[in-house]
Structure 1
Amino acid sequence: MTPTASTIALEFSQSLHACLGPEQMREVVERNRMETTPGICHSHDFCDANMVLYAVFLHHDMDPASEGGMELHGALWDQAWNLAKSRDFRVEG
């Protein structure tokens, strides 16, 4: 069963918190709130957040980097990222 954008967003947020810690996560959220360009996420200021989300996808046996992977998983990737960001990367369900 394919996970939902909400499930992926939550796991992505939890993984970012584990990677960055509370102080850097607060900074990410604050910078994102001040950012005026919609496609920018300041998690990249502290880590390769694409790799963090990629690991979440691999955990669910989905590989966006495989041939045709972005066609299969790209929309879910974007939805999950935007949802996590809109929720300020909260880690509670």
Structure 2
Amino acid sequence: MTPTTDTMLVSTRKAYGKVLDHLVASIPPDTTFEGLTTEVDRLSHASFQARFMKLWAHGCTPDQAADRVKALHAHGDLAPVPASLVRQEYAPLIAAGFALSVHEYATKRLIDGERRYQEMLRNNKAETDPAICHTHDLCDANVFMASSIEADVGVDPAASEDLLNDPAMIDLWNTAWDLAKSSYLGDIPAARQLCGQASLQAWQIIVGDDPSVAAEQPSPSN
């Protein structure tokens, strides 16, 4: 499946929330799920429930896990989703991840990094040009934004000129950056909390290669 001007490709394995709901709702009605019975049944088994109880406490359910298996089967690894829905669901998470990455780089890699980070926040607050972000004074901030988008959407925006110049990708990029500047860069605890919650909800389904593993909780990517 390919994206249109109004859609974006997202990772089916990592989809959650309204994006996962959309993928399930858009499964063709004639899709068959032969061969998936074992995988889907495993997701509803009591031992699986015990293993991933912590995940379910943050909103994951066996039905959602089974939905992701079915969506992966029907759509493949990447599936087109309305760009507005991707922006709504993922922009805050991308912004928070970006903020954590910049903060970690500044405070752990730069000499006098905490002072320089706070100076960046002050410069951003005083900046009158909305197109300028002073995170670039600390690092190659574009690399961190691209990495955050790839971690959450599952697509590297820098993989090709077409992706980088795609209007939907530009809109997602700009929306996430605006959120980072207005909120998460200046509130690292809130960024950390959001990414922590999302890492529990956006765990990935593993199908096929290792039949003993139905799902894995990914390490925080940001």
TM-score range, shorter chain: 0.7 to 0.9
Structure with the greater relative contact order (CA < 8 A, sep ≥ 6): 1 or 2?
Answer: 1
Residue 38 of structure 1 deviates from its aligned partner by: 1.2
Aligned length: 93
1:49 is matched with: 141
State the alpha-carbon separation in 1 of the partners of residues 133 and 158 from structure 2: 21
**Normalized against structure 1, the TM-score is what?**
0.87
State the alpha-carbon separation in 1 of the partners of residues 158 and 104 from structure 2: 23
Name which of structure 1's ranges 27-36 and 52-61 shifts more when overlaid on structure 2. 52-61
Residue 88 of structure 1 deviates from its aligned partner by: 5.3
Question: Which one of 177, 181, 205 corresponds to residue 85 of structure 1?
Answer: 181
2:104 is matched with: 18
Work out whether 1:74 is the aligned partner of 2:166: no
Work out whether 1:5 is the aligned partner of 2:91: yes
Identity %: 33
1:30 is matched with: 122
State the alpha-carbon separation in 1 of the partners of residues 118 and 184 from structure 2: 9
- For residues 47-85 of structure 1, what are the alpha-carbon distances to aligned partners after superposition, in whole Å with 9 as ceiling and x for unaligned? 110011111122232111233313152211110001100
Report the CA distance shift for 1:23/1:32 in structure 2 as closer, same or farther (over 3 A).
same
User: Which runs of structure 1 show a deviation greater than 4 angstroms over 4 or more consecutive aligned residues?
Assistant: none
Max radius of gyration: which structure?
2
Residue 23 of structure 1 deviates from its aligned partner by: 2.1
Greater share of strand residues, 1 or 2? 2
SS at match of 1:4: helix
Unmatched 5+ stretches in structure 2: 1-14, 16-85, 108-113, 195-222
Unmatched 5+ stretches in structure 1: none
